Structure 1
Amino acid sequence: MTLRAKFLLALLLISGGLTTASLVVVRRVVTSHIRAQIVQDLQNSVATFQNVQRQRESTLAHSGDLIADLPIVRALMTTQHAVTIQDVSTGIWRTSGSDLLVLADANGKVIAIQANSIDIPLAETQQQLSQSMSSSSPTLWWSCGRHLFEVAVRPIYLGPKELNRVVGFLALGSEIDEKVTRELSEVAASEVVFRADDRFMQTTLTAIQETELERNRSAAFAAVKAQQIQLNNERFLAREVQLSTVPVAVRLTVLKSLDQSSWFISHLDRVLVLLGGIALLLGAGLVWIISRTITQPLRSLVAGVRALGKSDFEFPVTPYGGDEVAQLTSAFARMRADLQQSQRQLIDSERLATIGRMASSISHDLRHHLSAIIANAEFLSDDRRRSSEREELYLEIQTAVHQMNELIDSLLEFSRTRESLRLNPSHPEQAVRSAINTIRMRSEFRDISIEMGANGTSEGAYDIRKLERVFHNLLLNACEAVSPSTGKISVDLLENRNNIEIRVTDNGRGIPDYLQHRIFEPFFTQGKANGTGLGLTVAQKIVEDHSGDLLLESSSAKGTTFLVMLPLGPRKPSVSFGTSNTAAVTP
C-alpha cells in the first residue's frame, strides 16, 4: 500500500469519526440554542404585547379625557334626565369610536350603556364601575358577560376641575374581541389566551387545546417563568402576564410552539449527514490528487499575508525546506519585519509632532490668559479705581478663567476614550435645542437668526451632554463666521432609515479650499484671536465615538454646511412615526 493510500485511509477514518462527533455536538448545541431562542422569542412576544398594550392604554386614556371634557357631555349630565341621557349618548358613543360607553350620575349610578353588543349586563357593569371609581389607574379591565373590555373611567366636571363639582362619570372601553386577539397573536407571533377571574374570555387556541389548557390550568399558570406544557399532542412554552387585579383579575397567557423546532432539528440532522458525506468524499478526492507537502507551506504564507493585511505582525510564518516556496516565505518574513520597523518610526514621529504642536498651542493660550489675569489683578489692587472700573476688570478676569477652563475641557475630551460615553435613549434634537439656547445667551450673537427644523421622533442611544458640546462648537464657529447683523444659521434634522442627519448651515464667508482638508486637525486654527484649534477635532471625536460621522459637506463664498450623521436605535414593532415637527429660534 502506497503512502498516499495509507494517508487517505487514515484521513477517511479520522474524518468519519470527527464528522460523526461533530454531528452529535452540533445537534446538541443547535437543540439547546433553539430552545433558548424560543424562550427568548417568548420573552420578546410578551414585551411586544406590553408595548402595544401601553399604546392602547395611552390612546384610550386620552380619548376618555377628551370625551369627558366635551361641553355636550357636561351639559347632558347636568340634566340628570335618564331618557335624554340614554338617547343623546348614542351619538356621543358613535363619535368616540369606542366599543363601550357608560354614563353614570355623580353617585356612580349607571344611566346609559352604549356598546357594540346588546348582551352587556347592567348589574355587572354597575358593580365594576363602582369598584373602578376609586382607582387612580388611567385604565382598568372590565368583564361584562362574555366580553372583555379595557376601560378608562373619568369624572365629568361642571365648570373648572379645580372646583371639583362632579356631575357624573364616563367609562370609555375598547373590547378585546376575536379580531383584536388575532391581531395581538400575529404581532407577538404566538398563541394568546385572555382570562378574567379564571374564565376564558378570548383565545387563539383550538377548542381541544383550550379544553386541555383548562384541565391543566393549575400546572400551566402557577409558574412565573416560562413553563413547558402539552396541548393536544403539541408542546408549548407558556408565560403568563398579570394585566390587572381590580375590579377584575385579568391575565394574559402567551404560548410558543416547540414542535416546529423539533421538525427543524430533524431536517437539520438529514442535511448535516448529507453535507458530511459529500464533504468527506470531496476531501478524499482532493487529498488523493494534491500533495499536502506542497499546499501546506502556501497556506501558511497566505495566512501570513492576510494577517499582515489586518496589521498582525506576530503571525507565525516559518519556512520549510529550501525550495522556492521556502525562499519566498523567508523574503516575506524579512519584508514584514522591515515594514513593522518603518511603521513604528512613523508613529513615533507623528506622536512627537503632535506633542510639539500641543505644547506650543497650550503654552501660548495659557500664557495669554494668565497675562490678562495678572494684569487685571494688579489693576484691581489699586484702591483709587472706581467701582465700575473694578467690576469691568473682574469680568475680564472671569472671562480669561472661563476660556482657560474651556481649553482644559477640550484637552480632556480630546484624550478621553469611547468608553467614557454615558448612553441613554434620547433624540439629538434635545442637544441641538440646548446648544442653540446657550449660543443665544451670548450678547455678541443675539442679532444672528438661528432656525431649526426637525423631522421624526425616533430615538437612539446617545450621550446628550457630549452631543450638546458638538453642536455648540459647530454653532459657535458658524456665529463667528457670519455677519453679526445679517447672519443666518439653520439647523435641519432629517431621519433616514438607519440614521439621522443634522446639517448646520450658515451664510458666512466660507472656508478657503486650501484649508478645508486641515480643519479637523488638532490645534489648527485660522483667523481667531483666542481659538484653541480643538473645537472641530473634539466634535468629530465625539460623533465618531457614537459610531457616526462629521464632515464638511460644502463651503463657498455664500456659506458653509457641516453634516453630522448619527445612527438610530431599532424601531419598536407596530409603531411608526410619520409626523414632522418644525421649530424656529429667532432673535
Structure 2
Amino acid sequence: MITWFSRLSLLWKILLSTSVAVTALFGFTGEIVLQHITRTMSDSLNEEVRASLEAYTSYWNSRAERLSAVSRLLSTLPAVRAAFSTGDRATIQDTAGEMWSKISDAMAIFLVTDPAGKVIASLGGVTPLSQKNMDVVRLAESRFPQQSSGFFLQDGELYHISVTPVYVDSTEGQALLNVLVAGYHVDALVAQRLQEATGGSSEFLFLTPGRVIASTLNPRATNTVVTSLAQGRPADRVNDGVVEYAHLDAPLLDIMGNQVGQLSILRSFEAARQRLSSLYKDIVALWLVAVSAGFAMTYLLARRIVEPVEQLDRAAAEVARQNYAIEVEVRSEDEMGRLARTFNNMCASIRQAREDLIQQERISTIGRLSASIVHDLRNPLAAIYGGAEMLVDRDLPQGHVKRLAANIYHASRRIQDLLQDLLDVSRAKSRAPEICRLREVASAACDALTTAAAAQNVSLHLAIPPEIELPLERSRMERAFLNLISNSLEAMPEGGEVRISAAVEDGSVLVEVADNGPGIAPEIRSKLFQPFVSAGKRNGLGLGLALSRQTVVDHGGEMWVDSQAGEGARFCFRLPGASVAAALIR
C-alpha cells in the first residue's frame, strides 16, 4: 500500500525525518530537564521550610533563654529577695517592677506568685493571667529548684512562659519563697515578628485544637489551609485555594513535655512556579529557534545531497524515453560521484550496444527478407520457367499453349502483387478499399492452393455465406487468407482438414480459419505475430502471419489465435463495416 509519505520527494522525507527526530529529542530532553528542575525546586523549598523551622527554633529559644536569664537574675538579686521576704504586695510590686523595667522586654509578661500559684504581682502590662491562679506553677513544682519553660494554654490564649522558683535561706535550709513566671503572649504581632526574624519568606500558623491562635496569612487563606490540614492532605503540600505551599509542622510543648498545639510553617511554591514557567517559556523559545535553525541547515545540507539524486532521476527518465545520449555531471568523488560516473558509462554501453544491435538487425533483416522474397517468388517463377521451357522446346497444340500462357500470366500477376504488397508495406501505403464479397476473396485463395492441398491429402471447406460484403483491399486480404491456409497446409503434411467460416456479429464479420493439425507450440504462441517467427515449417521465415495481421489491423480489425498443443490451430480475425448489415438487408 502506497502511503502519503512514500509519495513525498526525497528532500521532504529527509526534512520531515530530521525535524521529527530533533523535535522528539529536544522535547524528551526538555521534559527531563523540567522534571529535574521541578524536583530540585521542590527539594529546595522543603529545605527552606526546614531552615525556617530551625530559624524559628533558634529565635524562640533565644527569647525563652532571655526570659529565663532575666528571671534567674531577678531571683538572685538581694533587693528582690528582701522585698519578697516582707510578704507585702505593694513592696513586691514596686521592687520587682523597678528591676523589671531596667532589664526586660516591654512586650514580655512578668508575674510573681506564691508557691501555690496565686498571683501576688503582675508586671509588663495587664494580662488575664494576673487575675487567675497559675496552675502551671503547681505543675512545675515537681521540677523545682530547676527552671521550667514551655507553652501554656489558658482560656483559649497561648503563652510561652518560663517558671523560676525563688528560694531563701532558713534554719531548715533553703525554703521556696515565691515563683517568677515570665513569658510572651503568642498573637499575630508575635507571628509577624517571627516571620521578619526568619527572613519574611515563610508563613507561620500557631494552632491549638479547634482554634487558630495566630497567623501571618490573610483570614481566607488561613481558613482554607486549616481546613486542608484537617482533611488529612499530604504532609508536605498544602493549598490555600490560590497558592500551594510546602508544609512542615512543629509541636508546641508545655513545661511537662505535653503537646498543646502546633506550629505550621509554610513556604510558597508561587515564586518557584513563576521561575519554572519562565524557564518553560525560555525552553520553548529555544526549541523553536533550534528547530527552525536545524530545519534551515537540514534543508541546505539535504538540498546539496539530494541534487545529484534528482539529476540521476531526470537522467533515468530520459533513458526510459530511449534518450541514451543523456549524461550526468560528475561533481564529487564520493558515492554519488561514482554512481554518476557509472551511470554515464552504462549509457555509453547502451548506446554502443544499441548501434551494434541495429547494425546486426539490419543485416539479419536484409538476409531474412531476401530469403523470404526468394521463397515467395520461387513457385510463380518455377511456373513461368517451366511453361516458357515447354513453349520453346516443344511443338504443343493450340489449347495446351493457351493453358501454359494463362499459367505464365497468373504467375507473373502473383509476382507483381507480391512485389507491390512488399512495396506498400515498406512505404506504409495502402490501396483504396472496394466492396467485395468475402466468399469470393477466400475462394480465390483456396483455388490457388487446391493442387497443393490435394497433394497432401488435405480437404479445404469453405463455409462463408455468399451474401456478406464489405470494403476490402482485395489483393491484400486474399494474400492474408492465402498465408493462413498455407500455414495450415504446412502443419499437416500427412493430411487433414482446413475449414474457413464467417459469421456476422454486431455489424462486423468474424472469420475463422481452423485446422485439425498438431496445434501451435506454447513457446511461440505469445510472439506468433512477430516478424520472422516460425516453428515446424519446412519453408518460409515467418513473415506471413505478421503481414496478415497487419492487413487486418489496417482494415480496422483485430486478429488472434486460439490453439492448444495437439488440438489444432484456429486463427480468428474480425473486420468491421456497416456495409455488412446493409448487405444482409438486401
Common fold by TM > 0.5: no
TM-score range normalised by the length of the shorter chain: 0.3 to 0.5
Give TM-score, length-normalised by structure 1: 0.43
Larger radius of gyration: 2
Give TM-score, length-normalised by structure 2: 0.43
